[in-house]
Amino acid sequence: MSNNLMPYLRAVADVLGEPWRAATSRCVGEDAALVGPDGGWISVTVSSNGSGERLVLEAWLDSELSPHLPTGMVRPSVTVARARPTAAVGKDLARRLIPDVVELIDAARDLARRRACDAADLSNVLAAIGAGFGTTPEAGANTVSVGAYGQPLFATAQVLQPVWRSRQRRVRFSIDATVENALALAALVGERAAADRATPVAPDSGR
């Protein structure tokens, strides 16, 4: 770590204000960090070139939020000259970096929340289908089955997770049945399809 980096970052954190604070290295490859709102921090590394030391500051998400980085969203980063006064660097970060860091954290939290809601919906739908089957889905499963292959009736219901997350909410059934059971199922599905045609419904919005 560059000499006196921590006192320098503490002074920068004082300019940024709460909840920002300076901290020692949190992961391999960084020299120190600026820790802020729960779920995020700014990695600080020292880079040297002909013009002197520069600080590379890059936003990261903690292990809980990192899987929920929205697609296409880039972690914000800036580079500043180490020779600049801490007050100037702090003001520069507050203007150029911190708003993007907060936006990143908020977007990841929102995606995590929506995925959790989707997972709960998925679980509830599978539980309801399982109840109809007379069975219970395994924890964390996205399918539920009744019967077994080779028996007169074997059916599996699968929640299509990518489609589910796009808010369309679809379930796919796979059925192996004897001819007699197949004819009975065909009649049942035909009746339901006819009823749906007679009573149009609005497109599935997912809520």
- Encode pLDDT of 74-130 as tens digits: 999 999 999 999 999 999 999 999 999 999 999 999 999 988 888 888 899 999 999
Tell me the mean pLDDT in the region 50-70: 89
Residue 2's pLDDT band (cuts 50, 70, 90):
low
- Alpha-carbon dihedral 200, 204, 205, 206, rounded to 10 degrees: 140
Q: Could you count the other beta carbons within 10 Å of the beta carbon of residue 87?
A: 12
Amino acid 38: pLDDT: 84
Amino acid 207: pLDDT: 46
Tell me the mean pLDDT in the region 67-77: 92
Predicted structure pTM score:
0.74
- Alpha-carbon dihedral 66, 69, 72, 77, rounded to 10 degrees: -60
Residue 1's pLDDT band (cuts 50, 70, 90):
very low
**101: region left, alpha or beta (phi > 0 left; psi from -120 to 50 alpha):** alpha
Please, which residues have CB within 8 angstroms of residue 13's CB and are 6 or more apart in sequence? 20, 21, 22, 34, 90
Amino acid 170: pLDDT: 87
Tell me the mean pLDDT in the region 195-207: 65
User: What is d(CA 116, CA 123) in angstroms, rounded to the nearest whole number?
Assistant: 11
Residue 37's pLDDT band (cuts 50, 70, 90):
confident
pLDDT at 143 exceeding the cut of 50 = yes
Query: In this prediction, what percent of the chain has a pLDDT beyond 90?
Result: 64
